[in-house]
């Protein structure tokens, strides 16, 4: 978090977004949509402010939002939850991740994550002072391999922190590999925490398996999600974490001193979103899937080797066929000279010596068609 000279470092997302602005580039770096979410949800927040939902909400979240989270989980393939004891509303998934790790991991503990990983994971593990072990994702499909799972998760593992669907690679972990991870965690008494913020943004009709539906994870898994991605409201910072009552109680104990409570008028609005009909969730993923296809085809035409994106807001494109070795330098060159911002994949895998990670870039397709088309034009022209 702090460099050797004492200066603090901005996140790679902040850095690339600032560069995009400075160079008037199309920003396919930081993952935020450029379109508002559903009007029912936006209107409900305005209405909540006007009707006085402006003071501290209950510590675990409003009862109605907790009920909506529980109904929504049951509707989409997880076992039913007790909204009183098994659901906690948080300031985005970011706080849920931080509070869960702070609650469960002692300074001499160990957290296992996939690699590449979302940047906040390593930051929180570092703040705790715990050990960070990784399971590399391999192949064009970015899956964990059984031997790597068995090598990483062992007697010293406290928490296995998953992210599925996966940022930055767009992979969706195969159910049998999830089961293997959960079984290995169970054998060693570790808790599985699964960051599922992209749970509804899965493509090609493929099924998504939430950790709560994995047999070996029963009784030892915490599931995290957020309104940010599903309802295109990344600035609202309403997330939630669900799981066994004793684990949630431990997370509550931390959350009460991180933010205490959050987002009073957004909570009833997110409850409206979670109760939208199935068609909303299907349509949201279909729109993104079309944009994924548009961007993937454009990147391929521009000479990148493009990995399949099965979910999330992101696609990974390897610039090695363009003669690139250092993706971080190439990402900066593209912002400046081509007018397109991306994020170097290596930012999500610090210390990795994998040449394919070093030469790859992550592009976000949670943007209007015009923005994607313009960036494809710019990348083709640059080449
Ligand atoms: N986890 C992952 C994998 C993410 O991509 C993001 C970011 N957008 C978050 C957590 C943070 O979510 P929130 O904005 O709800 O804090
Ligand atoms: N989750 C978003 C991404 O991966 C950005 C969040 C942030 O800026 N910290 O692009």
Is 115's pLDDT higher than 90?
yes
Angle at 271 between CA 369 and CA 57, to 5 degrees: 120
Ligand 1 mean position, distance from CA 119 (Å)? 10
Atom 7 of ligand 1: nearest residue by CA position: 31
Atom 8 of ligand 2: nearest residue by CA position: 13
Is 122's pLDDT higher than 70?
yes
pLDDT digits (tens, 9 = 90+) for 248-262: 999 999 999 999 999
Atom 1 of ligand 2: nearest residue by CA position: 31
Contact indicator for 130, 107 with CB cutoff of 8 Å: yes
Burial class (CB in 10 A: 0-12, 13-18, 19+), 64: middle
Atom of ligand 1 nearest to the CA of 226: 15
Ligand 2 mean position, distance from CA 15 (Å)? 11
Please choose from 37, 92, 116 the residue to mutate so as to test ligand 1's pocket, defined by most ligand atoms within 8 A of CB. Answer: 92
Banded pLDDT at 363 (limits 50, 70, 90): very high
pLDDT digits (tens, 9 = 90+) for 322-340: 999 999 999 999 999 999 9
Residue 321, number of CB atoms within 10 A of its CB = 13
User: Which DSSP string do the residues of 298-345 spell out, in sequence order?
Assistant: HHHHTT-EEPP--BSSEEEEE-GGGT-S-HHHHHHHIIIII-EE-EEG
In 3D, which of 379, 319, 327, 381 has the Cα closest to residue 352?
A: 327
Reduced to 3 DSSP states, what percent helix, strand and coil does the chain have, rounded to the nearest 5?
45, 15, 40
Strand ranges (E), the chain: 26-27, 87-90, 110-115, 131-138, 143-144, 159-163, 191-195, 221-226, 239-242, 305-306, 314-318, 340-341, 343-344, 360-364
pTM of the complete model: 0.97
Contact indicator for 231, 198 with CB cutoff of 8 Å: no
Cα distance between residue 374 and residue 239, in whole Å: 33
Is 162's pLDDT higher than 90?
yes
Is 4's pLDDT higher than 90?
no
Ligand 2 interacting residues, C-beta cut-off 6 A:
11, 13, 30-31, 167
Domains of the chain: residue spans and CATH: 12-30+279-382 (3.90.1150.10), 39-274 (3.40.640.10)
Cα distance between residue 219 and residue 212, in whole Å: 9
Atom of ligand 1 nearest to the CA of 95: 16
pLDDT at 383: 74
């Amino acid at each position: 978090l702090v460099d050797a000279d004492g200066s603090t470092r901005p996140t790679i997302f902040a850095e690339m977004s600032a560069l995009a602005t400075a160079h008037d580039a199309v920003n396919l770096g930081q993952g935020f949509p450029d379109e508002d979410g559903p009007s029912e949800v936006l209107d409900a927040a305005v209405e909540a402010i006007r009707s006085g939902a402006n003071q501290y909400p209950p510590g675990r979240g409003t009862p109605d939002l907790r009920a909506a989270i529980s109904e929504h989980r049951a509707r989409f393939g997880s076992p039913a939850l007790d909204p009183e004891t098994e659901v906690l509303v948080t300031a985005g998934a970011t706080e849920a991740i931080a509070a869960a790790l702070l609650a469960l991991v002692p300074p001499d503990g160990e957290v296992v994550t996939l690699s590449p990983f979302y940047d906040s994971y390593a930051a929180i593990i570092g703040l705790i002072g715990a050990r960070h072990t990784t399971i590399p994702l391999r192949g064009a499909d970015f899956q964990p391999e059984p031997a790597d799972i068995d090598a990483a998760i062992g007697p010293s593992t406290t928490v296995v922190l998953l992210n599925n669907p996966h940022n930055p690679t767009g992979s969706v972990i195969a159910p049998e590999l999830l089961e293997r991870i959960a079984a290995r965690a169970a054998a060693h008494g570790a808790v599985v925490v699964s960051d599922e913020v992209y749970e509804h943004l899965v493509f090609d009709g493929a099924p998504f398996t939430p950790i709560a539906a994995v047999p070996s994870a029963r009784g030892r898994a915490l599931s995290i999600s957020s309104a940010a991605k599903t309802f295109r409201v990344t600035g609202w910072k309403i997330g939630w974490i669900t799981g066994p009552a004793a684990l949630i109680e431990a997370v509550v104990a931390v959350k009460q001193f991180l933010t205490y409570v959050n987002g009073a008028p957004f909570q009833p609005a997110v409850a409206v979103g979670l109760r939208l009909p199935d068609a909303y969730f299907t349509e949201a993923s279909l729109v993104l899937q079309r944009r994924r296809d548009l961007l993937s085809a454009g990147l391929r035409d521009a000479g990148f080797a493009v990995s399949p994106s099965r979910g999330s807001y992101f696609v990974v494109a390897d610039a090695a066929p363009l003669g690139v070795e250092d993706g971080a330098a190439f990402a900066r060159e593209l912002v400046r000279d081509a007018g397109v911002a991306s994020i170097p994949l290596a930012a999500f895998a610090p210390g990795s010596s994998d040449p394919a990670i070093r030469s790859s870039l992550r592009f976000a397709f949670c943007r209007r068609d015009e923005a994607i088309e313009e960036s494809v034009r710019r990348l083709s022209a640059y080449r």
